[in-house]
Structure 1
Amino acid sequence: MKIIHFMSTFFATAALAQSGNVGIDTSTPDPSAILHIENFKGTPAIATATISGGAVTGITLTNGGSGYTTAPTVNFYAGGSIVNGGTKARATASISGGTVTGITINNGGTGYTSPPTVTISGGNKGLLFPNLNIANLSSTTSPVASPANGLIGFNGGTNSNNKALHFFNGTSNQWQSTIDAEETPKVAYLDFTGSLSLLDNAVAGASALLVVNPPAISGVSNINGFKVVLNTVSGGYSLVLPQGNYLVEVNLNLNSPQESPAGQGGTAPLTGSTYYLMGYFIDFFSETFNNSTSTFTAGANSRKEVPIVSKVNTNHLATWSYYYSVPNNANANIIGGLRLSLGRMQNSTFYDLVNVIPTGSYIKISKL
C-alpha cells in the first residue's frame, strides 16, 4: 500500500483518509492510495466532557498541549446528540504561550446520552484545489481535456458560473457546482404536541402561555445552538437562539367550540350571520438567556394581531410573522430566549374557549 504524505515543516494531528482512487496531478491514480493531510505542528491538547440533562455542562482540560499560534477549534463528536435529534455543543478555547489554558462552553447542546469526545484542532494551513476557469460547464476540452469522473477544481475564472468548488460528473458529462454552505438555509421547525385549550371565558386583551407542551423539533432543523428550554420563571417553554437575526413564523390550527353558557362574555355572531370575529394576538417576549447559568431575564414584548372570521366547531388557521433579533454580546453565553403567549384581540365577538390542534400547528424559525 502506498502512503502519500503532504510534507512541509509541519506534522499532523488531524487527518483525512479515503481509500481508493486518490490522485494528485495524475489521471491514473493508484487505487490503493490513501491521502493523509496534516496541518499542525505541536502537541495536541486533550480534554474530556461531562453532561447533565442531555447537555454538556463541563469540560476538563487534562493536557494543554503546545505549539498553538492561534486558538484552536473545539469540536464534540458522538454522545448521541445527532442520533437523538439534538444539537451539537459549542465551545471556544483560549491559549497562552502556545498552550491551551481554558475552554469556555458557548452552548451545551441538547440530546446527549453520554459524554461526547472532545477534539481540539489547531493549524493554519488549508487544502488548495486547482484554480480553473470553468466557463462552459458542458466542455470536455477546456479547461481540462477529457476530465475524469469525480475530478474537483475551483472555478476562479472570469465567467458567470458559481465561484465555488466544481466536480466533473461522468454520468451527465458536465461540471457541477458543489453546495455553498453559506447559501444553505438555516431553519428550525417545531411541531405542537398534546392537547392545549386556552382563553376559557376570557375577555379581549387576556392571554395565556402558548408553548406549554414540549414541542417536537424536526430532524431537519439546522440552526446551530437552537434549543427549547423549560422556563422556570414564567412557565412553559422558551425558544433559545444564539446571537443573530431570525424570522419567526407561527402557524396555528384553531377550533372554538360552542360557547358555554350561550352569550358568554357578550359572545355573539356578526350581524345577520353565523360567523364570529375570532381575533387573536401573540405576545412575543424577547428575553435574555444565560447559557452558562440557564437563567432567563425579562425583556421587551411585541404584540402581533390577526383577525379571523369563522364559525364555531370549525378549524381555522391563523399565522403570525415576527422579526426576532438577538444582539451581539461580548459574552457568547448571553443569548436569546423567546417566549410566546396567545391572546384574544380587541373587538373580537367570541369570548370563550379555543383549542390549539397539534396537527397543522407549528413554528418555523429562519436565520437571516
Structure 2
Amino acid sequence: MKTINLISMFFATAAIAQSGGVGINTSTPDPSAILHIENFKGIPATATATISGGAVTGISITNGGSGYTSAPTVNFYGGGSIVNGGTKARATAIVSGGVVTGVTLNNGGTGYTSIPTVAVSGGNKGLLFPSLNITNLSSTTTPVASPANGLIGYNGGTNTNNNALHFFNSTTNQWQSTIDAEDTPKVAYLDFTGSLSILDNAVAGANSLLVVNPPAISGVSNIMGFKVVLNTLSGGYSLILPQGNYLVEVNLNLNSPQEIPAGQGGTAPLTGSTYYLMGYFIDFYSDAFNNTTSVFTPGINSRKEVPIVSKVNTNHLATWSYYYSVPPNANSNIIGGLRLRLGRMQNSTFYDLVNVIPAGSYIKISKL
C-alpha cells in the first residue's frame, strides 16, 4: 500500500512540474521556476517598483516581512521583453532585526515597457551537494562505488582536481568537472553590417565615424550589461559597457579602389613601387552613458595608429587593440559608451576612398 502511495505522489508531482510552480518549503513558488526550493520560515517581504524611460527608478517596500537572518535575494520578473536588447534590473536588500528595511537599486536595467514584479526571495540556506574526495577521475570504486550516470558531487578533498562540482559520465566512465561560471571568459563579438565608404579625398588626420550601421551581435556574447546604442549626440553607434576593464580588438577588412583622377591630395606610390602606404588610425572616445536617461557625455579620445602597405583594389587587413577602462561611479547608472572614428594616418601616401568590407570586419571585446 505504501508503494502505491509513493508512486501516486510521484506522478502527481511530475504532472504539476510540467506546468511549473512546484515548491518545497514555500507556499508561493516562483512561477518562472519548475522547482522552487525555499528554506525560509519567516514572513516574506514584499515590494513594488517604479519605472521611467525603460528603467527601474525606484523600489518601495510594502511589507518588511520578518525572520530574516541574512539579506534575501531581490529579483525582477516581467515588465516586457527586456531580453530582446534590454538588461535586467539589479537590487540588494538591507536587513535589520530580521526585517527588510530597505532596497538599494544597483542597476535600473533597460527595456522595460511595464512595471516588473519585485520578488524578495527569503532563504538563508542553499542547496548543499555531498562533498567528495575525487582523487582519481577514472575511479569507479572511490569515493563512490559504481556511481550512477549523472551523479553530482562537490570535489572538496585535497587533490589536484578542480574544487568544483563534478558529475559522473557513464559513457566515458569518468568524473567530469562542471564549468565554473566565474572562470568562463566574458566576451562580446560584433560583426559589421552594410556598406561603408569613407575618407574620400581626405588628407592625413581626417577621420569619420566607423560604426554607422547597427552591428550584428553574436549570440555567444555574455558580458552582462553590454549593448549597442545609437548615439544621438555624435551619430553612429556606441558600445555600452558597465564599470570594469576591457580589451577591445578591432579588425577591419579594407579596400581602396583606384583613384579617379589620379594624384588626389598628393597621392603617389612608394618610390620605385606600385604599393602605397595606406596608414590608418582609430580614435577611441571614452564617453560616459547614463543608463537611466540614455544621455551621452563626451569624453577624451585615445588614438591608435596602424601602418598598412598595400596596392589599390587589394584587400588589406588592419587590427587595433585598445585597453578600455570604465571607472567606478557613485551612480551605478553612469557607465561607459565607447565611440570609434577611423582616420588616415600621418605620412600616408594614399588620400582617397577606403571601403570597410563587412565580411571579415568585426570587433571583439574581452572583459579582463
Task: Tell me the TM-score normalised to structure 1 length.
Answer: 0.84
2:182 paired with 1:172:
no
Task: Report the equivalent of 2:194.
Answer: 194
CA displacement, residues 267-295 of structure 1 (integer Å, 9 cap, x when unaligned):
01111221111000001111111212222
CA gap of 1:102–1:133, structure 2 versus 1, over 3 A, is: closer
Contact 2:45/2:100 (8 A) holds in 1:
no
CA gap of 1:235–1:348, structure 2 versus 1, over 3 A, is: same
Task: Report the equivalent of 1:66.
Answer: 65
CA distance in 2, matches of 1:51, 1:359: 39
Task: Report the equivalent of 1:249.
Answer: 249
Task: Report the equivalent of 2:4.
Answer: none
CA displacement, residues 274-324 of structure 1 (integer Å, 9 cap, x when unaligned):
111100000111111121222222222111111111111221111111111
Aligned-pair CA distance for 1:206: 0.9
Task: Report the equivalent of 1:143.
Answer: 143
Task: Report the equivalent of 1:127.
Answer: 127
CA distance in 2, matches of 1:165, 1:287: 41
Task: Report the equivalent of 1:90.
Answer: 89
Q: Percent identity among equivalent residues?
A: 73
Contact 2:228/2:238 (8 A) holds in 1:
yes
Contact 1:283/1:303 (8 A) holds in 2:
yes
CA distance in 2, matches of 1:233, 1:130: 56
CA distance in 1, matches of 2:23, 2:74: 25
Contact 1:152/1:168 (8 A) holds in 2:
yes
CA gap of 1:216–1:352, structure 2 versus 1, over 3 A, is: same
CA gap of 1:64–1:294, structure 2 versus 1, over 3 A, is: farther
2:275 paired with 1:264:
no
Give 1 or 2: higher helix fraction.
2
Aligned-pair CA distance for 1:75: 3.0
Task: Report the equivalent of 1:356.
Answer: 356
- Aligned-partner SS, 1:321: strand
Contact 1:76/1:89 (8 A) holds in 2:
yes
Q: What number of residue pairs does the alignment pair up?
A: 345
- Aligned-partner SS, 2:182: helix
CA displacement, residues 193-217 of structure 1 (integer Å, 9 cap, x when unaligned):
1121111111101111111111111
2:44 paired with 1:47:
no
CA displacement, residues 140-187 of structure 1 (integer Å, 9 cap, x when unaligned):
111111112211111011110011001111222211111110111111
Aligned-pair CA distance for 1:366: 0.6
CA gap of 1:16–1:162, structure 2 versus 1, over 3 A, is: farther
| Higher alpha-carbon deviation: 62-71 or 188-197 | 62-71
Aligned-pair CA distance for 1:76: 3.9
CA distance in 1, matches of 2:365, 2:243: 14
CA distance in 1, matches of 2:30, 2:76: 16
Task: Report the equivalent of 1:297.
Answer: 297
In structure 2, runs of 5+ residues without a counterpart are 1-8, 14-21
Task: Report the equivalent of 1:156.
Answer: 156
Aligned-pair CA distance for 1:235: 1.8
Task: Report the equivalent of 2:182.
Answer: 182
2:248 paired with 1:284:
no
1:217-232 alignment, distance < 5 Å: 217-232=217-232
2:33 paired with 1:37:
no
State the one-letter code of the partner of 1:210.
L
CA distance in 2, matches of 1:266, 1:5: 76
CA distance in 2, matches of 1:233, 1:206: 20
CA distance in 1, matches of 2:199, 2:23: 68
State the one-letter code of the partner of 2:260.
S
Task: Report the equivalent of 1:216.
Answer: 216
Contact 1:88/1:108 (8 A) holds in 2:
yes
CA gap of 1:231–1:312, structure 2 versus 1, over 3 A, is: same
| Higher alpha-carbon deviation: 281-290 or 117-126 | 117-126
The alignment's C-alpha RMSD in Å is 2.8
| Higher alpha-carbon deviation: 61-70 or 353-362 | 61-70
CA gap of 1:324–1:260, structure 2 versus 1, over 3 A, is: same
CA gap of 1:171–1:126, structure 2 versus 1, over 3 A, is: same
CA gap of 1:157–1:94, structure 2 versus 1, over 3 A, is: closer
Contact 2:38/2:122 (8 A) holds in 1:
no
Aligned-pair CA distance for 1:14: 5.5
Task: Tell me the TM-score normalised to structure 2 length.
Answer: 0.84
State the one-letter code of the partner of 1:362.
Y
CA distance in 2, matches of 1:297, 1:88: 21
- Aligned-partner SS, 1:182: helix
- Aligned-partner SS, 1:299: coil
Aligned-pair CA distance for 1:17: 11
CA distance in 1, matches of 2:108, 2:192: 24
CA displacement, residues 26-79 of structure 1 (integer Å, 9 cap, x when unaligned):
xxxxxxxxx762133322424357585xx4455665734413555443334464
Task: Report the equivalent of 1:29.
Answer: none
CA gap of 1:227–1:331, structure 2 versus 1, over 3 A, is: same
